[in-house]
Amino acid sequence: MLLVPTDHVTKEEASLDSTFTWINDPVLDEEAKVHPSSSSQDHCANIIGGKESVPHSRPFMALIEGDFICGGTLIKPNWVLTAAHCNLGKNPTVTLGAHSLKKAEPSKQTLAVAKQIRHPCFDPETKENDLMLLQLNKAAKINNEVSPVKLGQSFDDLKAGTACLVTGWGVVANRQRKPADALREVNVTIIDRGICNNKQHYNFHPVVTKNMICAGSKKGGKDACTGDSGGPLICNGQQRGIVSFGKHLECGNSHFPGVYTRLTKKFLVWIKKTIGSDL
């Protein structure tokens, strides 16, 4: 998923967020302003190697549109969880109950964002604490197509080999600029953090910390990509992570698996304190 400036491309292209890199380095001449951060080594996310989701089978999914597009999850009728690195601008909207980006769907609810609350310790350089809460201007109507996600209440580190699911509207190929029209999903597998940090993988640039989860496929070809930022990592029916970063133009590369913010106990405490209620 690449960040695309709104003054050069269509709304759909502009809406792509940068999950696997937040940088200002040029990718192609036409994409020279694609990324909002600092290092040319990391990038953002879209679903690679997956399939179209069954319409409305993921009722917790939130489509976030501002300066760029991100994914997110509804955690309360008036709160959405996403990634802190998503650059949404001043007046973003959240659409719930969506399957298609373009088609009119009676299930869609589009709500304004009243507040954007980044985690106070978010660090765009180390990519630590990459989570953000969006308070909606009013509560969503909960129904079969729109309902909150179940956040993980177990805080043990996910074991390597655990099967998980990632969903999003991100790009489906590394050099593609337009987001997928329909919600897509892919199965990924948890990868040991030590492997992700070794010389054959990220080599500690950046460090994949205990607050992060590494997931992908040993053979490659399954990953989040540009535009999937902020979306959920679902394991055993619960959200355990948030799409955070990867390697620029290397979505699906087995040497650079997707990295996710891990929903640790301290993050759940911060979420509950911020929204003022239990989950």
User: What would the pLDDT profile of 3-49 be if each residue is shown by its tens digit?
Assistant: 323 233 344 443 444 444 532 222 222 232 233 333 333 443 445 55
Cβ–Cβ under 8 Å, residues 226 and 173? no
Cβ–Cβ under 8 Å, residues 39 and 224? no
Question: Which member of 37, 53, 217, 229 is catalytic?
Answer: 229
Q: Averaged over 191-214, what is the pLDDT?
A: 89
Highest mean pLDDT among 14-28, 99-113, 168-182 belongs to 99-113
The range of the structural domain enclosing residue 149 comes to: 1-279
Per residue in 249-276, pLDDT (tens digit) is: 446 555 678 899 999 999 999 999 999 9
Say yes or no to pLDDT of 153 above 70.
yes
Identify the weakest region by mean pLDDT among 96-105, 190-199, 246-255. Answer: 246-255
Cβ–Cβ under 8 Å, residues 217 and 246? no
Per the annotation, the verdict on 119 as an active-site residue is no
Confidence (pLDDT) at 74: 99
Per the annotation, the verdict on 130 as an active-site residue is yes
Question: Which member of 17, 67, 130, 223 is catalytic?
Answer: 130
% of residues, the chain, pLDDT over 70: 72
Confidence (pLDDT) at 235: 96
Confidence (pLDDT) at 155: 87
266: domain CATH number is 2.40.10.10
Per the annotation, the verdict on 229 as an active-site residue is yes
Question: Which member of 17, 37, 53, 85 is catalytic?
Answer: 85
Count of structural domains within the chain: 1
Confidence (pLDDT) at 49: 56
